[in-house]
Amino acid sequence: MKKTTIKLWKMLVCVFLFGAVFSSCEKEENLSESEENLATDLQEPPFKNYMVISESSDLTKSVENSLKTSGSEIVSSIPEIGISIVSSKDVNFIENTMKKKNINAVVPDYEIAWIPTSKGIEANLPEATPSIGSTEPYYFYDYLWGLEAIDAPDAWNAGFTGSGANVFVLDSGIDAEHVELAPNLNTSLSASFVPGEDWNVLESTPFDNHGTHVAGTIAAAQNGLGLIGVAPHAELVAVKVLSEFTGSGAFSSINAGIVYAGENSADVINMSLGVTLNKNGKLIDANGDPYKIPAKYVMEIVNAQQKAIDYAYKKGSTIIASAGNDGVNYDGNSAYIKLPGGLNNVVTVSATAPEGYDWTADYTNFDIPSSYTTHGKSLVDIAAPGGDGDVALDDMILSTGNNNSLFWSAGTSMAAPHVSGVAALIIAKNGGDMNPQEVTKQIEKTADKVDGNGQSTFFGKGRINAYRAVTE
């Protein structure tokens, strides 16, 4: 039984992660001919299995039968997009398998960090007497500045709270017993694609569980216990694709989670995760650790994940992902591509922060680009509060943690769930009768143009505005 007393934690190290996205309007994603020189001592990331990609989804079963007869073990399958995850002791597995019929590609199923490790420290905040919004103590005390920045309270007051919409959180699991999340969590649909780990995080897992924090920003319940999410009446579904202990996962786990969400009628898919690939085979994980993989595998990995994205998109899922925390301007850096970020049919989110937030002040500028945020007109679609820790911890995003804790964190990981919450508000308002392209258009059309009327380097089409999104 998990604890029921709410504790509040502050992060000393921000939860940063890489990941940026091309939107549904088909952004350019070709890799340039210019290549970086790779260090010869870079290691290949670990892998246990292979992704065998069939020429079509209809041929998946035939391919798997062929592999079984050759002594390979089918670990799992994503037949909707023609991918099989296979275990084999054959040192020449790739070469031998490519000789078989109906196979398009075979690549190692690399396991890498999609979200970084982090540390936190306990802190105490004053208690408040409960007095939608003002009944939540930490909103009442103005700690949830991100909600103010996007005008979420005005959206609630207008009657829009996300009721009837769902958000699938592809991450490191969720604390199912958290008092702020349990009322909105669909436990029957929640699932894990991480071998040996349940989607419900263990009590022994550190408080700063990434997926739990992301979920709280999206849809912490309106219950008077402390927090409130952007869409406090929306349904949450936990889809574990990363280890709660390491933040690592296989490419196939991400792909399987995306397809699962699409197949189960996800209105919104939130992916606060990502990695960076280069045409020449360089891979940089979320902790900034470089690896080297054969260059021929890069586009096969990219194409496989694009298949998963396209599948969910066609099923009606609006897909939101973080832009990344490497602080790089991706204009002119076309040799790099981010997953799931550098793919079509996904909305890219950069991060904003307050200009030295002071909850006692009458006014604070919330629209300062975060010091770490990845940016570029060719990459970023929209901006949202992600916080920053270079001035004060209160400049970060307060949300839920494991074992009923709360903690502060910062990153584009924290910005993306603000957008997912707004997407849920839009979809709920329209009774679910909107396709992803329409949802994306509404998000961008109603964003506040804080940096001109065009495509901004740091803000894309602007900073999201929840109230305008459901009233205009």
Write the DSSP assignment of 412-466 as a string of letters: HHHHHHHHHHHHHHHHHHTTT---HHHHHHHHHHTSB-BTBSS-BTTTBT-B--H
Range of the domain at 52: 47-108
Our answer to whether residue 334 is catalytic in this structure is: no
The position carrying tokens 């990941």 is 19
pLDDT greater than 80 at residue 72:
yes
Work out how many domains the chain is built from and give that number: 2
Whether residues 392 and 464 share a domain: the answer is yes
Whether residues 361 and 429 share a domain: the answer is yes
Task: Report which residue type is found at 136.
Answer: E
User: What pLDDT does 153 receive?
Assistant: 94
In a domain, 8, yes or no: no
In a domain, 238, yes or no: yes
| Given the residues 172, 413, 420, 456, the one annotated as active site | 413
pLDDT in tens, 399-425: 999 999 899 999 999 999 999 999 999
Percent of the chain at pLDDT exceeding 70: 84
pLDDT greater than 70 at residue 42:
yes
Q: Are strands 235-240 and 191-192 parallel, antiparallel or unpaired?
A: parallel
| Given the residues 24, 54, 84, 171, the one annotated as active site | 171
How distant, in Å, are the alpha carbons of 169, 372, 426 from that of 381?
20, 17, 17
Whether residues 95 and 127 share a domain: the answer is no
Whether residues 99 and 191 share a domain: the answer is no
- Last residue in a domain, options 55, 78, 108: 108
User: What pLDDT does 270 receive?
Assistant: 98
pLDDT in tens, 201-220: 999 999 999 999 999 999 99
Whether residues 83 and 135 share a domain: the answer is no
Range of lowest pLDDT (60-69, 330-339, 460-469): 330-339
User: What pLDDT does 330 receive?
Assistant: 87
User: What pLDDT does 264 receive?
Assistant: 98
pLDDT greater than 80 at residue 37:
no
User: What pLDDT does 332 receive?
Assistant: 84
The answer to whether 346 and 302 have CB atoms below 8 angstroms apart is no
Whether residues 351 and 372 share a domain: the answer is yes
| Given the residues 88, 118, 210, 252, the one annotated as active site | 210
Whether residues 415 and 295 share a domain: the answer is yes
Whether residues 152 and 87 share a domain: the answer is no
Range of lowest pLDDT (43-52, 311-320, 326-335, 443-452): 326-335
User: What pLDDT does 142 receive?
Assistant: 73
Whether residues 104 and 141 share a domain: the answer is no
The answer to whether 133 and 232 have CB atoms below 8 angstroms apart is no
User: What pLDDT does 361 receive?
Assistant: 66
Q: What are the beta bridge partners of residue 236?
A: 167, 185
In a domain, 101, yes or no: yes
In a domain, 195, yes or no: yes
User: What pLDDT does 251 receive?
Assistant: 98
Whether residues 196 and 78 share a domain: the answer is no
What CATH number is attached to the domain comprising 83? 3.30.70.920
Q: What is the mean pLDDT of the chain?
A: 86
Our answer to whether residue 413 is catalytic in this structure is: yes
pLDDT greater than 50 at residue 12:
no
pLDDT greater than 60 at residue 24:
no
What does the pLDDT average to over 291-300? Answer: 95
In a domain, 29, yes or no: no
pLDDT in tens, 217-265: 999 999 888 899 999 999 999 999 999 999 999 999 999 999 999 999 9
pLDDT in tens, 363-398: 678 999 999 999 989 889 999 999 997 656 778 999
Whether residues 95 and 240 share a domain: the answer is no
pTM (predicted TM-score): 0.90
- Last residue in a domain, options 66, 82, 108: 108
pLDDT band at 333 (very low <50, low <70, confident <90, very high): confident
pLDDT in tens, 150-165: 999 999 999 999 999 9
pLDDT in tens, 271-285: 999 899 998 999 999
In a domain, 75, yes or no: yes
In a domain, 217, yes or no: yes
CA distance 181 to 391: 30
| SS3 (DSSP) at 128 | coil
In a domain, 19, yes or no: no
Whether residues 341 and 419 share a domain: the answer is yes
Between 234 and 140, name the one with better pLDDT: 234
Helix 251-263 × helix 295-314 angle, to 10°: 10
The answer to whether 167 and 416 have CB atoms below 8 angstroms apart is no
Our answer to whether residue 233 is catalytic in this structure is: no
User: What pLDDT does 188 receive?
Assistant: 98
Range of lowest pLDDT (140-154, 317-331, 375-389, 438-452): 140-154
CA distance 256 to 252: 6
